[in-house]
């Protein structure tokens, strides 16, 4: 009989710490709602004491999540623990997640504490948190570079004071699968009271082994895996949720464990994170990359047509990609569009359907066929701020090899149309300078990228900009068959967020 592995998702905490992946409150709530659909066991909603914004997002997520446990990370100090509980106290299932480093290098240079002091702090912190709620997770930061015997002592002390989950992190991605398995086995066999606690594992991908290390740990006896959607996270990222889940499902014969994830929500979850963060996954990315279920070689195509399992060990439907595709064009009606969006995993309200259908009709007039990637892009546009202070009314661009580029931009600001003209080093720079003169604020363009969302001459262009103003940063996104219009829409999207 197979055992069940709990999936602890830290996309909203560790994942958001990845450079360029910060999210606003509305976006975090949307991600939390999708994680519930995915049926993760634990949602780590943030680091409550890190900032007022982090506290608010953890608190709001705790209020709306009904099925999953909601956790907040905190250091092993009382004010952190107080703040963490204050944020998660409204959750149906609250968890306080305490961490304290246990490796010699961290204890000496960061904590400046002895082994005895770390043991004492561990017991005190867990006991203090236990007065707030029953579910306490204790993480030994940099466990994979810690002395095994000392690690077992720390975990024994944590469990004795009420910890219900002990976590073995490979914080800097240093370990190998064999080493992680050895750590898990040692902790399992040498920690007093281990039968009272779950054993969790949290791996980073600095050497490209996060998923392998996590799977080796599960094979050795870990019962909780800490992951992020698309593997986003600090430095080279975290363990990829979709890769762990589909390994367990596809090779159940080997791992003999299962999890409660609704794998049909994986693809939609991945797309949502890519849209919100503006960070796409590589086409060759396992499970969710554009090429994961693509076959170009003639031999492969022949084999798959004869019998799918010749070259596919998973089916697209397993992760939420439908096999049959409906061709959508300018003659397609609303029903056909809604049916296709439903097959792709989207659940839109009536207003979102109306808005998407209107954009669909405009796009269909420009393209012969609207693909699934086009639909993903159209739906993603609903993530624009609900109250857009600045809206594009019209634009005219003059540019050439021997003239200075100029842009005439008309924006609707509340109920007033304001128009400005500006020159620049190219059409995009001129357009952005014209917008800056209308809003009368200095916006810093930190990054600009453009890619084709779909294939062909009539492909949709997607522009991602990273903007900053004072101490605020945000990501703006725009989609259009006209790359200048996409650039303007992306800039306005970011401006409205700021």
- 300 pairs with which residues across the strands? none
What DSSP string runs through 216-231?
A: HHHHHT--EEEEBGGG
State residue 305's pLDDT score.
54
Name every residue whose Cβ is closer than 8 Å to that of residue 242 and which is 6 or more positions away in sequence.
Answer: 229, 230, 266, 269, 270, 286, 287, 288, 319
**The whole model's pTM is what?**
0.79
Q: How far apart are CA 71 and CA 48, in angstroms?
A: 10
How is residue 370 annotated by DSSP? Answer: B
Taking the chain (498 residues) in consecutive chunks of 10 residues, what is each chunk's mean pLDDT? 87 86 91 97 97 95 97 98 98 98 97 97 98 97 97 98 98 98 98 98 98 98 98 95 97 95 95 90 89 55 58 81 57 74 80 83 74 75 65 92 92 91 93 93 91 73 89 86 91 89
Degrees to nearest 5, angle at CA 211 with 207 and 214: 110
In whole angstroms, give the CA distance from residue 224 to residue 14. 16
Nearest-angstrom CA–CA distance, 250 and 230: 18
Q: Which letter does DSSP use for residue 238 in this model?
A: B
Residue 481 in contact with residue 367, Cβ under 8 Å?
yes
Separation CA 350–CA 140 (nearest Å): 48
- Per-residue confidence (pLDDT) for residue 2, from 0 to 100: 58
Residue with tokens 């857009």: 388
């Amino acid at each position: 009989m197979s055992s069940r592995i709990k999936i602890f998702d830290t996309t909203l905490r560790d994942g958001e710490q990845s450079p360029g992946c910060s999210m606003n409150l509305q976006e975090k709530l949307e991600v939390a709602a999708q994680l519930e659909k995915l049926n993760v066991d634990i949602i780590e909603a943030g680091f409550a004491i890190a900032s007022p914004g982090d506290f608010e997002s953890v608190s709001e997520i705790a209020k709306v999540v009904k099925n999953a446990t909601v956790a907040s990370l905190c250091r092993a100090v009382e004010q952190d623990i107080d703040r963490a509980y204050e944020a998660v106290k409204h959750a149906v299932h609250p968890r306080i997640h305490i961490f304290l480093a246990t490796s010699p290098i961290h204890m000496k240079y960061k904590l400046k504490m002895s082994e005895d002091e770390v043991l004492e702090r561990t017991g005190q912190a867990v006991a203090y948190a236990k007065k707030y709620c029953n579910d306490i997770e204790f993480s030994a930061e940099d466990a994979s570079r810690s002395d095994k015997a000392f690690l077992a002592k720390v975990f024994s002390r944590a469990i004795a004071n009420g910890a219900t989950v002990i976590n073995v992190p490979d914080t800097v991605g240093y370990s190998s699968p064999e080493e992680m398995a050895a750590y898990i086995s040692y902790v399992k066999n040498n920690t007093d009271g281990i039968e009272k606690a779950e054993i969790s594992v949290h791996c980073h991908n600095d050497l490209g082994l996060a998923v392998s290390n996590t799977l080796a740990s599960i094979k050795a006896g870990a019962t909780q895996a800490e992951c992020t959607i698309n593997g986003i996270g600090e430095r080279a990222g975290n363990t990829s949720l979709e890769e762990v889940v589909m390994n367990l499902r596809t090779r159940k014969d080997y791992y003999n464990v299962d999890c409660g994830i609704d794998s049909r929500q994986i693809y939609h979850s991945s797309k949502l994170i890519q849209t919100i963060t503006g960070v796409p996954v590589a086409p060759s990315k396992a499970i969710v990359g554009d090429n994961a279920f693509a076959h170009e070689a003639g031999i492969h195509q022949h084999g798959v047509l004869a019998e799918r399992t010749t070259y596919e060990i998973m089916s697209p439907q397993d992760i939420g990609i439908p096999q049959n595709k409906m061709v959508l064009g300018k003659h397609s009606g609303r029903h056909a569009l809604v049916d296709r969006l439903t097959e792709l995993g989207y659940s839109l309200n009536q207003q979102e359907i109306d808005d998407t259908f209107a954009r669909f009709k405009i796009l269909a007039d420009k393209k012969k066929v609207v693909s699934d990637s086009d639909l993903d892009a159209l739906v993603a546009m609903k993530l624009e701020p609900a109250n857009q202070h600045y809206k594009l009314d019209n634009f005219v661009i003059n540019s050439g090899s021997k003239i200075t580029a100029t842009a005439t931009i008309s924006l609707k600001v509340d109920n007033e149309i304001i128009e400005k003209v500006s020159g620049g080093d190219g059409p995009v720079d001129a357009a952005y300078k014209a917008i800056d003169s209308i809003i009368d604020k200095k916006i810093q363009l930190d990054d600009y990228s453009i890619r084709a969302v779909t294939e062909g001459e009539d492909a949709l262009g997607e522009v991602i900009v990273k903007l900053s103003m004072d101490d605020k940063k945000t990501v703006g996104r725009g989609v259009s068959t006209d790359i200048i219009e996409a650039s303007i829409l992306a800039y306005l999207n970011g401006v409205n967020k700021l």
